[in-house]
Copies of this chain bind each other. A is one copy, B any other.
Amino acid sequence: MKVGVVGLGLIGGSMAKAIHKKTEHTVVGWDMSETVRLSAKLLEAVDEFMIDGNPKDCDMVLIAVYPQATVDYVLKHAKDFKKGAVVVDCAGIKRLVCRGVQQAAEENGFLFVGAHPMAGIERSGFNFSSEKIFEGATMILTPYQGADIADVNKVCQFFKSVGFSRMQIATDAEHDQMIAYTSQLAHVVSSAYIKSELSPRFKGFSAGSFHDMTRVAKLNETMWTELFLENRDYLADEIDGLVERLQAYSKVIREGDADTLKAMLKDGKEKRLAVDVVKEFD
């Protein structure tokens, strides 16, 4: 089939390369930047271009741009999509996107499935894209309620063919709530952690835990600002929940309450060990 990839950054570029190298599909790509388009052609990530980003004739369209830009793209081209085409986005939040395009999909006869590849690195842009970043990764899919199971299965098979090893089906709200905790909160903590007045003096006093805590502070602030604000309800609740728990630690530590502190640490250890158990049976 003919697969269109809109946005050839880290995720879109990697998708194009993976489809090109691992499947028989034809890849047509598009990016706002002419430099990126030429790079993608030179490196054979795409077979040809989607003229002005128009998705006509594509059997499947993968959209890998920021959330609001995804909605804008789908609405702008709502009448251009081939009837029955499968349109999938890759944005890190799903309510905004899935709800923003649902009516357009129904009215224009294309199938929309929300998706969020759980893959990424602390760098962005086509230059860092690679067909390998999806290997072993999970793809979260957020189809609409009532979606045809055969269609969703087709999307699953497609993503497995480009390297994903596991599919997770969720509602858009469930996705946004879980991602607020497992990913967005981690980025907020990392950004806040590095801002201690002591951080410039870390050298000689740091081990793995400091680097683990601060690694994802190296983020693309434009993209994450949009992701955070479009998920502000769930994310702010998670931040506030963590703040409350940290305040409880601070209190028992200041009070010197060894028994309570030890019980709190033991509880945390056990909850973390439970994560390992789940992973082991994976």
Q: Which residues of A contact B (CB under 8 A)?
A: 118-120, 137-138, 140, 166, 168, 170, 175, 177-179, 181-183, 185-207, 209-210, 212-219, 221-222, 224-226, 228-229, 232, 235-236, 238-243, 245-250, 253-254, 256, 258, 261-262, 264-269, 271-276, 278-279, 282
Inter-chain contacts of A190 with B (CB < 8 A): 209, 213, 268, 272
Interface of A is mostly: helix
Counting chain B CB atoms within 10 Å of each CB, which of A239, A254, A265, A276 scores highest?
A265
Kindly identify which residue among B215, B246, B256 contacts A242, using a CB–CB cutoff of 8 Å. B246
Once the chains bind, are A272 and B198 in contact (CB under 8 Å)?
Answer: no
Given the known A-B contacts A219-B265, A265-B221, are A196 and B138 also in contact in the complex, defined by CB atoms under 8 Å? no
Once the chains bind, are A118 and B179 in contact (CB under 8 Å)?
Answer: no
Kindly identify which residue among B209, B248, B271 contacts A186, using a CB–CB cutoff of 8 Å. B209
Task: Give Cα distance in the complex from A192 to B77, angstroms.
Answer: 46
Task: Give Cα distance in the complex from A241 to B193, angstroms.
Answer: 9
Inter-chain contacts of A253 with B (CB < 8 A): 228-229, 232, 235-236, 239
Task: Give Cα distance in the complex from A197 to B247, angstroms.
Answer: 17
Task: Give Cα distance in the complex from A246 to B207, angstroms.
Answer: 23
Task: Give Cα distance in the complex from A226 to B182, angstroms.
Answer: 30
Inter-chain contacts of A271 with B (CB < 8 A): 194-195, 199, 217
Kindly identify which residue among B212, B214, B225, B265 contacts A215, using a CB–CB cutoff of 8 Å. B212
